[in-house]
Chains A and B, each alone.
Chain A
Amino acid sequence: MKSPFRPDVVPNAGILDDHKPLIRSLERRGLIRGGLSLGALVMLSGCDLDRPESVESALLAIGRFNDGVQALLFDPNKLAPTYPASMILRPPKFNAYYDVVDVKPVSDATWRLELSGLIAERRPWTLPQLQALPQTSMVIKHICVEGWSYIGGWTGVPLRAFLERIGADLRAKYVAFKTTDDYPSSIDMATALHPQTLLALKYGDDSLADPFGYPVRLRMATKLGYKNPKWITAIEVTNTYPGGYWEAKGFPWFAGI
């Protein structure tokens, strides 16, 4: 019996012969491509399936719009709630893109804070020099993008005072940070100038412990946890978007709270 799926009129079999090299090359190319994307799929744990490029760029475009909205919502004079020192969590919660055992402590003997970009006095700073500047303390909530939060007490140099001291262009768009743990980060100037944005040197009354950014880290009351780089080694003031570690992987840049 003739299969119902077989066409009544069969195409000329010569077509196959005429295009044999083409067909063969297509198959081979397809195999290689298929093999490669399967490998990529395994490595990226399904990124390609979940997130086609068009969807990704649309989401990123809305993300940039959201950054703009967040900048508008940011009130430079609005202070985050503060808490009594008795509520400070000791030690603070460790969180990074690697495990706490992989923290590489920084030696304060060799440590310098390098400055670059739109800054008048770009000589590097030592830790004693930073410690000699007027210090401010704040007990604020740390809110992680994951959802957890804790209350921490931080002491250090207000970033605004530091930027003024070094003659930074305060009309520039961004302040960018480099760290010893390859965790570049950047923030908007408005947040950099907020009174609750510190170059933190102490947690509670003690100097920062190694896992929490000794000797200097950033602490802002108005941004999510991942915007606060630890073990800072360089600060740049710039008008060119500097991005950041998590931002390059898809997290929003502004991340204001």
Chain B
Amino acid sequence: MKQVKAETSSKPAQSGRRLHPLPVRIMHWINAVVMLVMITSGWGIYDDDVIIRGFHFSQFWRLGDWAAWSLNWHFAGMWFLTVNGLIYLVYGFATGRLREKLLPIRPAEVVQTIIDTLHFKIAHDDITVYNAVQKLLYIVVIFAGVSQVVTGVAIWKPIQFSGLVSLLGGFQTARALHFAGMAVIVGFLIVHVALALLVPKTLGAMVTGGPRLDPRGRAREGHAI
């Protein structure tokens, strides 16, 4: 896979925006905590009436010692998830970050990245540029997050938003979709955390901001750390 080499910039390294501006880092870590709250409290609610027969989440993985408190955690977390998510999307669209980081995705690149990954050739010299699979995963998880809010509203207020519920195929279907959305996000989370631990500088970048970028949004030489 071709690597886009960082360009030398004449400007001093201290200026220029970072890979992850402060608002992105704050929103990322709020989301990380809130997502865990929503997932684990959701498991506590799920366990009272399972969707997949015989499939339970053990108490260890559930937030809330029984359903009422799982529910209270869930109904508290939902505000943080929704408000933080909305600000993230507005910020991402307004600053152009979402388009800059996640588009375009070329199917050929997706295939090539998968082949490379299967050969353990994971390119990560420059963490400022996402490969096609990364882009795809981030877009999928953003959609999954939005979908969770929509299906969540539907099963929270199935009468007040009865139109939305019938659009989703009924209450029980909306509930199953809400469960499926959780599965997608958990799947993403496993890959996301595993890769962040494999390439620890990405984790550091989400704390410190990461390398400073040139005007094209690429890393400056010597700062791809």
Q: A59 on the interface (CB 8 Å rule)?
A: yes
Complex-state Cα separation, A51 to B70, whole angstroms = 11
A44-62 vs B, CB cutoff 8 Å, 1 = contact: the mask equals 1111011100001011101
Is B208's beta carbon under 8 Å from chain A?
no
- Which chain B residues border A70 with CB–CB below 8 Å? 157
Contacting residues, chain A, for B166 (C-beta < 8 A): 81
Whether, in the assembled complex, B9 has its beta carbon less than 8 Å from a beta carbon of chain A, the answer is: no
Q: Quick one: which of A44, A58, A141 contacts B171, CB cutoff 8 A?
A: A141
B69 at the A interface (CB under 8 A): yes
Asked if A256 CB lies within 8 Å of chain B CBs, one says: yes
Verify if A149 is at the interface (C-beta below 8 Å from B). Answer: yes
- Of A23-31, A107-115, A245-253, the one touching chain B: A245-253
| A164 contacts B by Cβ under 8 Å | no
A59 and B172 contacting across the interface, CB-CB below 8 Å = no
List of A residues within 8 angstroms of B157 by Cβ: 70, 73, 256-257
A residues less than 8 Å from B45 (CB atoms):
147
Q: Chain A nearest CB: distance from B167 CB in Å?
A: 13
Looking at chain A's contact residues, the main secondary structure is loop
Do A51 and B65 have beta carbons less than 8 Å apart? yes
- Which chain A residue lies CB-closest to B155? A147
Option from B48, B65, B72, B159 in Cβ contact (under 8 Å) with A80: B159
Q: Would B72 and A63 count as touching, CB distance under 8 A?
A: yes
* Chain A residues, CB < 8 A from B71: 145, 251-252
* Contact among A45, A146, A252, A256 for B75, CB-based, below 8 A: A252
- Number of B interface residues at 8 Å Cβ cutoff, please give it: 29
Q: Are A51 and B75 in contact (CB under 8 A)?
A: no
Given A59-B76, A147-B49, also A50-B69 (CB < 8 A): yes
A98 at interface by CB-CB < 8 Å: no
Chain B residues whose C-beta falls within 8 Å of the C-beta of A222 in the assembled complex: 159-160
Q: Does B64 contact A (CB under 8 A)?
A: yes
| CB-based contact A46/B72 at 8 Å | no
Contact A45 B67 (CB under 8 A): no
Distance of B80 from chain A, by nearest CB (Å) = 10
Which B residues form the contact surface with A (CB < 8 A)? Answer: 45-46, 48-49, 51, 59, 63-69, 71-73, 75-76, 79, 156-160, 162, 166, 171-172, 175
